[in-house]
Chains A and B, each alone.
Chain A
Amino acid sequence: MDALSRIHSSLRASGVLLDLHPQPENSRLEIWQGNRISPLGEIDQQQEIQEIEYAESRLAELEERGLYATDSQRFFDLLEHHPSVESWLQRWAEEGWQFAVDDEVLKSARELLQAGGGDLVIREPIRATRLNRRRETAPDNWSPN
């Protein structure tokens, strides 16, 4: 049994699953200096995107089998502010997140921050979904794999 199936059985019949996860697309890097926002480019997160797409397909499969039903969704950008390029790189390394970014983008970010201060901002598109629990248990002939 996988995580989504275990969660299903832990929920009451009227239970709700709130799922927050990044959209399967690259985050964007910006420099904010006062009212000025300088978009510098995308962060290559191909591996994470593949994992998100797989997870979304698993959730869709459980919906098709009638265990959950999407009720409503919200889309927003999650902003992460850092005082420096190094602060951002250190945090993402500590989190173990796989990503790549062009050296020219990093160079531009450092130069802008050094010249005018401000924040390095990561803009990550997020999908928040409310799913209602359906059906008491998975059908006898259903396998999560």
Chain B
Amino acid sequence: MSNSLVFCSFDAGRDGLPAGAEEVLTLARKLATARGVDLDWLVIGAQPSGVEAAAAKHGVAHIDHIDDPKLAELEPDVVVAAVQQYCGQQSPALLLISQTFDSRLVAPRIAARVGAGVVMNAIDVASGDGEVKVTATAYGGDTRVEYDVAGPVVIGVVSDPLLPEAAASPSAPEARSIAVDLAGVDERIRTVQKASSDGPRLEEAQIVVAGGRGLQDAENYQLVEDLAAALGGMAGASRPIVDDGWTDSSHQVGLTGKITRPVLYVAAGISGASQHMVGCAAAKTLVAINTDGDAAIFKYAQYGIVGDCLEVLPALTKAVKGG
């Protein structure tokens, strides 16, 4: 086993960098420095344009690149096989992966292939006595759990609560092309109908107005949509009202829904259950509207209105339009 610490990315991202790359690299840099080992970046598939600059900024020693015509769509079976072969060649001690919808499946599969421990939902990683100590969320964010892992480990890092920070000294990363053989790997899952990714995404919205059970009735979800439209933002929802069918799951914010990080998040009639807060805790400003002044949501909020969201939402919409 070598000692290297590897950040592995296999998505193109939307801004020239893989999702969460800078945040996870910041965490990885800190850990590599503490362990006195190289930080390498394994890029699977076509290399996004911003990789070299970000690698230098975060003190990456090597940019290891695996490309192959079979990796064009970055489907899971070929990605897992490519990373498995890389691990066979390089034997990294730690593999850090930014947690996304796709990596949530790929990360544990890689761990199974290489016999490594696996921890998802990680928010911090530290070195222990010959072990790695991983802090992850549990119970929908209600608790934090520390796990000790001896031996190699694959870690899925939730990048949203992390802040990117440049390394103390930038590096001049060396590019290495890694050869793998994917000839015998065939994708076992066939896509019949792709998800339509058209339209704006809640995850990238600058303003989100979200509603919960405090709306009392499905038809009142319109009040949330009205304020969202007036503010030029998007409408979100808590899981209970999505489960009840008041709106569809594309609006669901939280642990099992969308993770948002807007400038402004308005939570109307939402109590503040941890599993919801996972999806909006990174908001720059959180405004809470709830009839119960003791509701947990006010612990997270910068501004609170104790009142009925059925009255406050229309008043806000009117004021936004009038102003």
User: Real complex partners, A and B?
Assistant: no
A-contacting residues of B (Cβ < 8 Å)? Answer: none
